[in-house]
């Protein structure tokens, strides 16, 4: 099995495996997703001979499908919970490969970890939505506010895990929002990430002096924002 196939087997996101998996994830369903026809056939093959271990090429040959379809089916069965993967000798060929096999004990899915909540306070609607969509795809709960006063109210009500704040807003500006957050015992400990343009470095310096925890300069790619959020989030547990 090639390097690309190994990577796909271990890292292929569920949204690329089967559309029904994606629907179940987006709806937050606790029900086990339905299996595709190829996955159901592969599961039947493994259940018929519980000691069998199959690498993707041999699984593809048995099912008479492409190797890519076999990879997708193995990944789907792993996500479903009845099949595991490991580095063993394949039962159908002499190669030591990353193979699929039935789990030896009943599988209990761990309870999902609580999702961290991010509050985005930014006057630019397109930016708010762009980064909200990205962060939701990364597993965060996201709230949004178009101005400082609204953001302050949401922060006091929801107590998010982190606040992403543009200090340059009309009305109640970012500095005033930071001061009020830090004066309130309900929100004092929430880390605040400032996002501001390179031309407004003074805003960032003032915000950090007022109690902000970090700064991300615009323009920035979503991954840079995620990196800064991850650094500032308090460690759970």
Which domain, by its residues, includes 136? Answer: 117-232
CA 229 to chain centre: 13
Instruction: Give domain status of residue 108, yes or no.
Output: no
* pLDDT band, residue 100 (cuts 50/70/90): confident
Q: Are residues 142 and 55 in the same domain?
A: no
Report d(CA 43, CA 45) in Å as an integer: 5
Phi/psi at 142 (nearest 5 deg)? -130, 130
Domains in the chain: how many in total? 2
Instruction: Give domain status of residue 109, yes or no.
Output: no
Q: Are residues 8 and 83 in the same domain?
A: yes
Q: Are residues 128 and 220 in the same domain?
A: yes
- Asked if 43 contacts 82 with a C-beta cutoff of 8 angstroms, the reply is yes
Phi/psi at 84 (nearest 5 deg)? -120, 165
> For residue range 164-190, what is the model confidence (pLDDT) as tens digits?
998 888 788 888 999 999 999 999 999
pTM given for the model: 0.53
Q: Are residues 136 and 65 in the same domain?
A: no
CATH of the domain at 133: 3.40.50.2300
């Amino acid at each position: 099995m090639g390097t690309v196939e190994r990577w796909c087997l271990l890292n292929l996101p569920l949204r690329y495996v089967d559309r029904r998996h994606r629907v179940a994830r987006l709806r937050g369903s606790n029900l086990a997703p339905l299996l595709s026809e190829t996955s159901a056939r592969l599961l039947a093959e493994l259940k018929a001979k519980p000691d069998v271990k199959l690498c993707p090429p041999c699984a593809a040959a048995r099912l008479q499908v492409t190797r890519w379809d076999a990879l997708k089916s193995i990944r789907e069965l792993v996500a479903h919970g009845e099949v595991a993967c490991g580095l063993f000798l394949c039962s159908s060929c002499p190669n030591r490969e990353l193979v699929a096999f039935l789990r030896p004990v009943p599988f209990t899915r761990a309870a999902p970890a609580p999702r961290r909540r991010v509050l985005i306070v930014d006057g630019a609607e397109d930016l708010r939505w762009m980064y909200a969509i990205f962060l939701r795809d990364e597993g965060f709960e996201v709230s949004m506010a178009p101005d400082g006063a609204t953001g302050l109210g949401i922060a006091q009500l929801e107590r998010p895990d982190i606040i992403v704040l543009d200090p340059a807003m009309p009305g109640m500006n970012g500095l005033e929002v930071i001061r009020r957050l830090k004066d309130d015992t309900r929100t004092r400990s929430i880390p605040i990430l400032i996002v501001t343009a390179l031309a407004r470095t003074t805003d960032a310096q003032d915000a950090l002096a007022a109690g902000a925890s970090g700064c991300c300069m615009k323009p920035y790619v979503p991954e840079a924002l995620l990196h800064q959020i991850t650094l500032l989030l308090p460690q759970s547990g």
